[in-house]
Each structure stands twice: as C-alpha cells, then as structure tokens.
Amino acid sequence: MKIYRFIVVLSLFFLSCDQKSKVEKEVEGIPVDIKVERFDKVFFETKPEDLAKVKRQYPFFFPAGNDDSVWLQKMQEPIWREVYEEVQKKYANFEPVRQEFNSLFQHVKYYFPKTKTPKVITVIGEMDYNAKAIYADSLVIVALELYLGKDHKFYEFPNYLKQNFEEKQIMPDVVSSFAYRNIPAFPDRTLVSQMIFEGKQLYAKDLLLPEYTDADKIGYTPEQIKWCEENEAYMWRYFLEKEMLYSDDPKLTTRFMTPAPFSKFYLEIDNDTPGKVGAWIGWQMVRSYMKNNNVTLPELLKTSSKEIFEKSKYKPKK
C-alpha cells in the first residue's frame, strides 16, 4: 500500500511538472519586445533652454499649473543631480531589467491575451514610495530612485519600507499595479473583503512571476515568511475568536492590512510579526480557492470575496 501511494504521489508530481513546463513553453513562445525610454536621462541631460522641447515630448510628466522654474530647479539642484548620478551608476545597463519585463509581459499576455504591450519609461520621481512602479495600460512608469538598494545612503525611511527598495522588487511592484487595475473595488470594507482583495493581487504574482519567491512577491524577508507559515493557524484562530472577519472597523486595516513594522494583535508576539499579515492570510485563502475550483486568473480577479471565502475550503494546517 505504501509503495502504491508513493507511485501515485510521484506520478502527480511529474504530471504537475509537465503541466508547468507546458505552460512555460507556451509563454516563452509569445512574442514580446518591451521598449524602454530613459526619461530620467533625458530630463537631467537636457539643457535648461531646451526644457520646452522635453515638455512637448513628455507632456504627461509636466502637469499644468507648475511654473517652469520648478523643473529647472530640479534639473540643477545638487541633491537631485546626485540622485541622478547614483541611478545611472546602478542602472547604466538596463537590459537585464528589460528582459525581466519581457518575461513578465509574456506571462501577462498568456493569461490576459488582449493586454497591450506597454512602453516602459524610467523616471526619477519625488521619493514617493506609494508610486514606485505604475502600470497604466500602454505605459509602465518606474521611479528608479526607489530601487537603489535598501542600504543606500539616500534613504531615510523605516526598515520595513526600505527592505523593498531593491531592484528585485520592480516586477512585483508592476504586477501589484497591474492587478489593482483589474480587480473590481470591494463592495464593503470588512476585514475578509480586504484580505481577499490583497490575496488576489498576490496570487496574480504566483502566475505572472512564477520564478519569484513568496518573500519577493509580498515584500517580506524569508524570516517573515517563515513566521507566517509557522503561525498561520494561530492567526486564523485569533481572527475567528475575535469575530474580526466581518467587521468593518477601520482600525483593523491599519492593524493587519497596511505596510507597517509589525502587525498589531496587542499581544507579546507583536514585535515578532511582519506587517500586513491580513494580506498574507488572504493570499492563502485565494490559493486554496484556486486549488479547489476550476477558475482562470481573469475570472478570479472578478470573483466576489464572498464567493471566494465560501468556496475556498480554507483551513490552515495546525
């Protein structure tokens, strides 16, 4: 009997590998050639007297109402010149990142065939960590000043934010932006709706970035992923016992859903927790739903959180 079970498990394993290979082979055959425009270089290498020409070429980067003096100051201010120099050191050769974009959008087109191949434009923004990478249908805008490495001297941010200022976070950030544009807004603000909303965009990374680790997908350290895996059942029991899932108390969002140095169970374990553990739990719910239901990725993104929760059969391992 044990030998029979072993053979069945082994057969399922190889079947899964074959299926994955089949998908990846089909993905590799999708023609994608991402074009990159280095607006960061164009802007900082333009002479002040030629600013009008750049504004005509890239009008979407120059909102009405801002006097030219704003842009001229940024072009010439020593601190921004230094930022520009550091970006050029790091990304003098952008080809490896462009190849990553090619692979990403081959996967996007496999699951979302009607998606346009976007143009990637690199910029140096205003150190806004809420706008590191933006997908906007025909454009992807990447703020390179926020991908210089977590230990860079420019960053005066808390560690839980800085840990994701790495080059390897560019693609996960782009997928987050892409997914958010394709997930309908949740009809309520209950904790479980927010969990599943975030779980959907994280599951999109499972399919669109199959070679990335779970830590990279959610922006955790390996240790933080391990903590969540080891405490999954405990966290789930806590949410159930405190009757939090169907609560729309806005404090729950800051306690469990938004980036933070740690999550707030108001227990001794808090300092050991990563932030936004609610998103991680939502991810596991969505994974369970996809395992137990025959649904495509585009269908998943449009499925209600209520249906996902009820049909997920989610049950953490003890």
Given 109, 143, 171, the domain boundary residue is 171
Do 229 and 286 lie in a common domain?
A: yes
User: Cα-atom radius of gyration of the chain, to the nearest Å?
Assistant: 22
**Which domain does 48 fall in, by range?**
36-171
Do 152 and 267 lie in a common domain?
A: no
Distance CA 274, CA 260 (A): 8
pLDDT of residue 2: 47
Given 139, 171, 203, the domain boundary residue is 171
pLDDT at 32 over 80: yes
pLDDT at 17 over 70: no
Residue type present at position 206: D
Residues in the chain: 318
Q: Are 147 and 166 in contact (CB under 8 A)?
A: yes
| Total of domains in the chain | 2
Do 44 and 149 lie in a common domain?
A: yes
pLDDT of residue 3: 54
Do 280 and 206 lie in a common domain?
A: yes
| Structural domain contains residue 22 | no
Do 82 and 120 lie in a common domain?
A: yes
| Structural domain contains residue 201 | yes
pLDDT of residue 220: 98
Do 251 and 162 lie in a common domain?
A: no
pLDDT of residue 64: 85
Q: Per DSSP, which regions of the chain are E strands?
A: 36-38, 119-123, 133-136, 139-143
Do 224 and 295 lie in a common domain?
A: yes
**Start-to-end CA span in the chain (Å):** 26
pLDDT at 13 over 70: no
pLDDT of residue 18: 56
Do 202 and 163 lie in a common domain?
A: no
Q: What's this model's pTM, rounded to 2 decimal places? A: 0.91
Q: Which of 116-125, 180-189, 198-207 has the lowest mean pLDDT?
A: 180-189
Do 41 and 167 lie in a common domain?
A: yes
Q: Which of 18-22, 115-119, 256-260, 287-291 has the lowest mean pLDDT?
A: 18-22
pLDDT single digits (tens) 198-219: 999 999 999 999 999 999 999 9
State the greatest distance between any 2 C-alpha atoms of the chain, in Å, as a whole number: 81
| Structural domain contains residue 177 | no
Do 208 and 118 lie in a common domain?
A: no
Distance CA 114, CA 112 (A): 6
| Structural domain contains residue 318 | no
| Structural domain contains residue 130 | yes
pLDDT of residue 9: 44
| Structural domain contains residue 27 | no
Residue type present at position 164: N
Listed in sequence order, the residues at least 6 apart from 278 whose beta carbon sits closer than 8 Å to its beta carbon are 191, 194, 195, 198, 252, 256, 257, 263
Query: In the structure, what pLDDT confidence band is assigned to residue 164 with cuts at 50, 70 and 90?
Result: very high
| Structural domain contains residue 20 | no
| Structural domain contains residue 25 | no
pLDDT at 163 over 80: yes
Given 112, 142, 171, the domain boundary residue is 171
Exposed e or buried b for every residue in 199-221, given b needs 16+ CB within 10 A? bbbbbbbbbbbeebebbbbbbbe
Do 164 and 50 lie in a common domain?
A: yes
Do 166 and 196 lie in a common domain?
A: no
Distance CA 31, CA 252 (A): 44
Query: In the structure, what pLDDT confidence band is assigned to residue 119 with cuts at 50, 70 and 90?
Result: very high
Average pLDDT for the chain: 93
Give 296 or 15, the one with higher predicted confidence: 296
pLDDT single digits (tens) 36-71: 999 999 999 999 999 999 999 999 999 888 899 999
